[in-house]
Structure 1
């Protein structure tokens, strides 16, 4: 890619589910904390043709990476940057809740009500944030309609293109991008006292990856697998559960926020005061 920009150190907290792209094959929106600056601030990295990257450039959630970035000028959200994917270096992986606590326990939280109202007033308002879930009011597991004909065409075009060698890969991914079979939508209250409840669509790649792992299972069994992980486990009483929230680039959608990921450490870890 070879962009000219600045070097950033990022703690990756979000990898959204891949979406078809004619230019990049399929792209992922990545977000996290820029920890080379104080105080730490949110950063969005896009586009990331993650599945097409060389293995040395791929990373996991809660990896700390160094990457060259430049402002994404066509996106007025201040957190948005274009990464040079060939410049990615994985520094370390924060393995487990205890390792993540020194960063995450210092991170200020916000509320979905606040994010929405601020984005309604100002397109440059925060477009990313961590929201403490006050209560899970309900959820819906809906059938995913699959890729549209236009999306299928994008995938097919990319699989036959050689232009993606620019991103450090010599061949397409081993598998074609598979559409998830289910969509998960939460109904929840944030911590604003007068919160009317929110609907939040889960866009986390972890949800798609879980479905891919069990793609041979019946739809009923898959529903139980998803429910066990994303409802029972993530919202146990012994956990403090928060959503990583993000909005859309299109100006008319700025006040709409989706669930990009879930952070659910045990209460015993979440209550610890970091030493730095």
Structure 2
């Protein structure tokens, strides 16, 4: 393995793995020694909730870690990581309307999903021509029996906290610059955490009331605030076993207009 620098741009909500029990797929930008962007990268597996506290990188952190190409994954951006080797170097802030973040991300922008596929890539950032609407879909409330069995395999020395299943998927319907329309769900951990945080702070006494309030606040964020105040880009990636199927794995949302000094990201999103 080789130690390299990576800018973390997004991480997905944890998933259940029969091999690693619980993992997080992280997307970012591989950097050279001078911290210049080289290419998009996917690092896996990361047992995020088992990392030492000072290794739990936030989004927009530059980390150093031992990585190598994942030869079992045909997608060239996929790398294996030694998650015990992770060291957080620094965080990239939002000064001057996200100027520094843009300097890393926008040079690696694609025009469309079609361009990503034409270049035989599986990961990248695009800017939709228009966003028609936000949508919500219900999903299973419980993990499958196989996934639950993995969680039930307790550790005698370090019992883990069960991973919560989010019973909703959020997403956007949008049109690309080439006129192609898409309806993509969002797997970004930030959005799942926004939902969980709003539900847990709700003053309603019933679960239904708490969930409805949380859903309303997620809609307010993704539909009302993001579509009116943010210059939205989508970080998209495909599925290993379904290479033509893409989803939104992260949202890049600098402000549409200049604001005073520094635009603060939501505290709910500080993961």
Query: What is the aligned counterpart of 1:223 among 208, 215, 239?
Result: 215
Unpaired stretches in structure 2, ≥5 consecutive residues? 203-208, 259-271
- Conservation of the 8 A alpha-carbon contact between 1:235 and 1:264: no
Q: Counterpart in 2 of 1:29?
A: 25
CA offsets 1:203-222 (integer angstroms, 9 cap, x no match)? 10111111221334422212
Aligned to 1:215, the other structure's residue is in SS state helix
C-alpha separation in 1, matches of 2:7 and 2:22: 23
- Conservation of the 8 A alpha-carbon contact between 2:77 and 2:122: yes
* Mapping for residues 13-52 of structure 1, pairs under 5 Å: 13-36=9-32, 40-52=38-50
Query: What is the aligned counterpart of 1:138 among 103, 125, 133?
Result: 133
Count of aligned pairs between the two proteins: 244
Q: Counterpart in 2 of 1:165?
A: none
C-alpha separation in 2, matches of 1:230 and 1:28: 23
Aligned to 1:255, the other structure's residue is in SS state strand
* Mapping for residues 127-276 of structure 1, pairs under 5 Å: 127-146=122-141, 147-157=143-153, 160-161=154-155, 171-173=158-160, 175-192=161-178, 194-195=179-180, 197-216=181-200, 217=202, 218=209, 219-236=211-228, 238-250=229-241, 253-268=242-257
- Conservation of the 8 A alpha-carbon contact between 2:108 and 2:124: no
Aligned to 2:219, the other structure's residue is in SS state helix
Q: Counterpart in 2 of 1:12?
A: 8
Tell me by how many angstroms 1:131 deviates.
Answer: 0.8
CA offsets 1:31-68 (integer angstroms, 9 cap, x no match)? 10011176520111011111111112210110000111
Of 131-140 and 85-94, more deviation after overlay is shown by 131-140
Tell me by how many angstroms 1:172 deviates.
Answer: 4.2
C-alpha separation in 2, matches of 1:234 and 1:172: 39
RMSD between superposed Cα atoms in Å? 1.9
- Conservation of the 8 A alpha-carbon contact between 1:110 and 1:129: no
C-alpha separation in 2, matches of 1:151 and 1:260: 22
Distance 1:247-1:95 versus aligned 2 partners, 3 A rule? same
C-alpha separation in 2, matches of 1:89 and 1:183: 32
Tell me by how many angstroms 1:268 deviates.
Answer: 4.2
Unpaired stretches in structure 1, ≥5 consecutive residues? 120-124, 163-169, 270-276
- Conservation of the 8 A alpha-carbon contact between 2:66 and 2:85: yes
Tell me by how many angstroms 1:20 deviates.
Answer: 1.2
C-alpha separation in 2, matches of 1:59 and 1:109: 26
C-alpha separation in 1, matches of 2:187 and 2:126: 15
- Conservation of the 8 A alpha-carbon contact between 1:181 and 1:211: no
- Conservation of the 8 A alpha-carbon contact between 1:113 and 1:190: no
TM-score, normalised to structure 2's length? 0.83
